């Protein structure tokens, strides 16, 4: 596949190269993290086991095009990880959570599970065999760039699973706009590639969860809100029944973090996420898409911190809680419980940012965070 290269690619590559020099070493046999979390399942609220594997990392991110402008996952990867290492990591993660009940397994490997350069075929299969043996697990979620979503790759895995177990592939579409995905994000694939991957997955009875990025760099907050809403609609229309909205969390060794340090980037506001979610549900209803949607979730990392999605000192905690609650209940009205005087400042900043294209206006939030 031809990978479209964004305008910031050379600089992103440079930043990544420098960051990788100080990449922390992880033991090849140790998984990075695992936990149980409350999750919105297809059947309602349940528990999910999350496993983060120590893998060789995303080949797009580590390649000469530099990877995506906001992604620092490559910091948590290691060289020379073998199939045996990966299997060992997974079984250890299972042991660590032995006795706990969960209905979903989510595997993250800082890249594409379906890329055999990252997760060798044997490892993919052994891990899936393990999952197929866990009682009660109904959902398995993995992540992959669209180019690895092929019929044969999916078939290999689905045949291992039990018939009632559902596989969902998470694809980081980020935005349905090619301009934004290629240049602002440097994602390296087209919306058409995503559409093709969704079609392939659906044909294999594999579901697709679409990850959307809230506020790629060089977009105003207003543009970011509009883009996230439109992207979700486009992804749903392409056949993705799950949508996950990911507000940017600033990770080291990324272009976004370089901009942030220069004062030229602010992670999105909770108010913006609220707008995205509520407007999105309205649009879904307007466009008669309700039946095409299973869930629209958001599980922001770094929520309430300066690097992650945040409002003001006074309401960050409540906002985080409400977003979590919304994701579980899938009731956008929950977000109406958020009240804070920073709302009107947010609105004003949005206007000013749109009209000045000044990305540094968070300077003016100091006074509300001091009182």
Partner 1 sequence: MLFDLLDISANGKYAKVVINDTSLVFPTLLTLTSTKENDINWLLGDSGKTLSINLPPSSLTQEVSNKKTTIQFVANILMHEPLQVSFVLNNLQKTTALIADRLKIVPPENALVMLQPNINPEILDAVTKTITKYKIRHVGITNFTPLLNTPRKALEFILRLRQLLPLDTLLYLFSPVPHTVVPILSYCGVDAFNSGYVWLATKSGLYLTAAGALPLTQLSEKICSCKICADLPISDLQKALLENNAAGLDEHNMLIYQAKVREVRYALKQKDLRSYVEQNLFDTFTATALRLLDSSWTDMLISRTATWLSTPIYHLTPLSYYRPAVQAFQRRVRERFDILPYKKIVVIFPCSARKPYSFSKSHRKFLEVINSLPKDKQAYIQQLILTSPLGVIPRELELVYPAAHYDIPVTGLWSEEEKAIAVQQLTSVLLKARKQKPIVIAHVSDEYLTLCQEAEQKLKTTFVYTAAGSKPTAFQALANLKKTLLAKIADSPPHQYNKDLEFVRALSDYQFGLGIGEKLFPEPVTLKQKPNQNIFLFKGKNRIGVIHHRTGQLMLTVPMGMALAKQKKYYLKLHGEELKGSTIFAVGVFEADPEIRPSDGVVILNEKDELLGVGVASLSGSDMVSMSSGRAAKVKTKVKSLTKAHSG
Please give the residue ranges that form the binding site for partner 1 (CB under 8 A). Answer: 7-8, 10-11, 14, 179, 183-184, 218-219, 223, 258-259, 261-264, 341, 343-345, 347-349, 351-352, 354-361, 363-365, 367-368, 371
Asked whether the beta carbons of 208 and 237 are under 8 A apart, the reply is no
For residue 193, the partner it binds in Zn ion, ligand SF4, partner 1, none, with Cβ less than 5 to 8 A by kind, is none
Q: 288-347: which residues touch Zn ion (CB under 5 A)?
A: 311-312, 314-315, 340, 342
Q: 341-370: which residues touch Zn ion (CB under 5 A)?
A: 342
Half-sphere exposure of residue 44: CA atoms within 13 angstroms, side-chain side: 0
Rounded-to-integer distance, Cα 46 and Cα 127, Å:
22
List CB contacts of 41: < 8 A, sequence separation 6 or more.
Answer: 48, 103, 104, 138, 139
Give yes or no for residue 6 binding ligand SF4 (CB under 6 A).
Answer: no
Joined together, the tokens standing for residue 328 give 């579980």
Give yes or no for residue 68 binding ligand SF4 (CB under 6 A).
Answer: yes
Classify the phi-psi angles of 49: left when phi > 0, otherwise alpha if psi is within -120 to 50, otherwise beta: beta
Nearest approach in angstroms of CB 266 to Zn ion is: 14
Closest CA to 36 of 46, 24, 44: 46
Give yes or no for residue 245 binding ligand SF4 (CB under 6 A).
Answer: no
Nearest approach in angstroms of CB 36 to ligand SF4 is: 24
Rounded-to-integer distance, Cα 86 and Cα 112, Å:
14
Give yes or no for residue 73 binding ligand SF4 (CB under 6 A).
Answer: yes
The residues facing 167 across adjacent strands are 140
Of 25-33, 63-71, 202-210, 225-233, the segment contacting ligand SF4 by CB under 6 A is 63-71
Total residues at interface with ligand SF4 (CB under 6 A): 11
Residues found near ligand SF4 in the complex (CB under 6 A): 58, 60-61, 67-68, 71, 73, 110-111, 145, 172
């Amino acid at each position: 596949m031809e990978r479209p290269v964004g305008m910031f690619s050379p600089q992103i590559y440079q930043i990544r190269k420098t960051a990788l020099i100080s990449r922390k070493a992880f033991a090849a046999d140790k998984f990075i993290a695992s936990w149980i979390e409350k999750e919105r399942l297809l059947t309602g609220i349940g528990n999910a086991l999350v496993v983060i594997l120590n893998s060789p990392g995303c080949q797009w991110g580590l390649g000469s095009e530099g990877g995506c402008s906001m992604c620092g996952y490559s910091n948590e990867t290691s060289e020379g990880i073998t199939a045996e290492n990966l299997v060992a990591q997974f079984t250890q993660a299972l042991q660590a959570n032995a006795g706990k009940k969960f209905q979903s397994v989510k595997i993250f490997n800082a890249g594409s599970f379906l890329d055999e350069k990252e997760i060798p075929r044997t490892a993919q299969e052994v891990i899936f065999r393990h999952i197929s043996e866990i009682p009660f697990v109904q959902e398995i979620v993995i992540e992959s760039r669209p180019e690895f979503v092929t019929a044969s790759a999916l078939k290999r895995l689905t045949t291992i699973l039990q018939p009632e177990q559902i596989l969902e592939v998470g694809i980081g579409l980020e935005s349905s706009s090619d301009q934004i995905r290629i240049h602002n994000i440097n994602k390296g694939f087209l919306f058409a590639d995503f559409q093709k991957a969704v079609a392939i997955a659906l044909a294999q009875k594999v579901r697709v969860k679409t990850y959307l990025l809230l506020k790629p760099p060089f977009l105003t907050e207003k543009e970011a809100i509009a883009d996230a809403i439109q992207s979700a609609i486009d992804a749903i229309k392409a056949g993705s029944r799950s949508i996950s909205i990911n507000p940017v969390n600033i990770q080291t060794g990324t272009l976004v973090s370089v901009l942030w340090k220069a004062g030229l980037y602010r992670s999105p506001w909770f108010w913006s996420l609220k707008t995205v979610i509520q407007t999105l549900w309205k649009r879904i209803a307007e466009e008669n898409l309700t039946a095409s949607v299973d869930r629209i979730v958001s599980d922001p990392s770094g929520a309430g911190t300066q690097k992650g999605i945040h409002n003001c000192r006074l309401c960050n905690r409540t906002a985080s809680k409400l977003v979590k609650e919304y994701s579980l209940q899938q009731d956008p009205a929950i977000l109406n419980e958020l009240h804070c005087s920073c709302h009107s400042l947010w609105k004003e900043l949005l206007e000013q940012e749109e009209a000045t294209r000044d990305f540094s206006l968070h300077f003016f939030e100091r006074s509300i965070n001091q009182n």
